[in-house]
Amino acid sequence: MVDYIVVGAGFAGAVLAERIAERDDNKVLVIERRDHIGGNCFDFMDENGIIRHKYGPHLFHTNSRRVVDYLSAFTRWHKYEHEVLASVDGKNIPIPFNINTLYEVYPTDKAKRLEDKLIGLYGKGSKIPILELKKTDDEELRALSHYIYEKIFVNYTAKQWGMRPEDIDPAVTARVPVSLSRDDRYFTDSFQAVPQDGYTRLFESMFDHPNIEVELNRSASDVLDITENGIKYLGRPFHGRVIFTGMIDELFEDQFGRLPYRSLRLDFETVSKELFQEKAVVNYPNDHDYTRITEFKHIHPAETKKTTLLKEYPQAYIRGKNTPYYPIFTDENQQRYEKYKEFVANIPNLILAGRLAEYRYYDMDDIILRALELSDEILHGM
């Protein structure tokens, strides 16, 4: 007795379920394999009275008015503008590398000389990719680009992706920018905040609709049989639509091969002090096996004499053992995904949405906007 089955209770599934249930009075069943809603954005109040992001820090930022207006119907906001430091040679410096970082790293006279050269060549407020900076004829600026690449970016990326620095695709390294401003914010979007009562409370509000039923601890394979011949739910033909936000290769039993991901080992710890570090996140590009430490008290202030930390250790994704976080983008992997996508095109009642189903990385605001636009298409006829 449902019109839509949505697989997955993260942002893609939640937005689509809410919009479809609200706008056309459709009955929607959401099934989620985990024991909680919210996907990787799930958070909770820990024993220290601090809101902890179970799957690592999720920091909302966007330039989309539509996304802000939509989410604001389900949450109040706590303004939070993210700043990140990197531990380099025993000193914490602002990243992305900017004019302030320049003066942290070099003596004042040299920093001023480099600042003048950079602004003279590229203009105040510009963002210059490292590879472009490396092409300059100026010896000092080339040395600066080498410093940023080696000290801040390449080893961090090697840890993140499990690759030797020399094996990293130059196209990836090209994206590290130098910002010619004194803005230490990691994001420059017009709207930056976190849900005042946490992401989980936001999801609870989104699913709090008489037309939506949520079933936890239930995998798609438990209830759905999806083939080119159609869709069955609990062994019976299902004539509604299925919106799938999970792993597309797993859904079809790796028919065209597995799609690889990177994962994370997340180690939380409590420290008996007011604050442990200057900012919410400190990156460790060159030291330690972990890539960064997050201190959640900076994100969600709390009256407690203890603080909650998270250390992130990148690792290979192993199905059934850990969580898939980041698709690994190679030509071979994309070609494999395209085979799944072509297969799905022959199943008219199946719709793919989200990071795992579409095998691409989305920021939160991107997937929310994608889901809003997809709901428009669904409700107006695809």
Write the pLDDT tens digit of every residue in 96-150: 999 999 999 999 999 999 999 999 999 999 999 887 888 899 999 999 999 998 9
Mean pLDDT of 166-187: 78
> With the CA atoms of 374, 377, 381 and 382 taken in that order, what torsion angle do they form, in degrees rounded to the nearest 10?
-70
Could you say which of 1.10.3720.10, 3.10.180.10, 3.40.50.720, 1.10.10.410 is the CATH number of the domain covering 4-79+194-260+326-379?
3.40.50.720
Structure-block tokens of residue 322: 């850990």
**Which pLDDT score is estimated for 380?**
85
What's the CA gap between 103 and 105, in Å, rounded?
5
pTM greater than 0.85 (yes/no): yes
Write the pLDDT tens digit of every residue in 297-354: 999 999 999 999 999 999 999 999 999 999 988 889 999 999 999 999 999 899 999 9
Closest-CA residue to 80 (of 362, 302, 300): 300
Beta bridge partners of 193: 60, 79
**Which pLDDT score is estimated for 177?**
82
The structural domains of the chain, with segments of one domain joined by +, span 4-79+194-260+326-379, 95-179
Mean pLDDT, the chain, integer = 94
Mean pLDDT of 259-279: 97
First to last CA, the chain: 22
Structure-block tokens of residue 137: 């004829």
Write the pLDDT tens digit of every residue in 65-75: 999 999 999 99
> With the CA atoms of 319, 320, 323 and 328 taken in that order, what torsion angle do they form, in degrees rounded to the nearest 10?
0
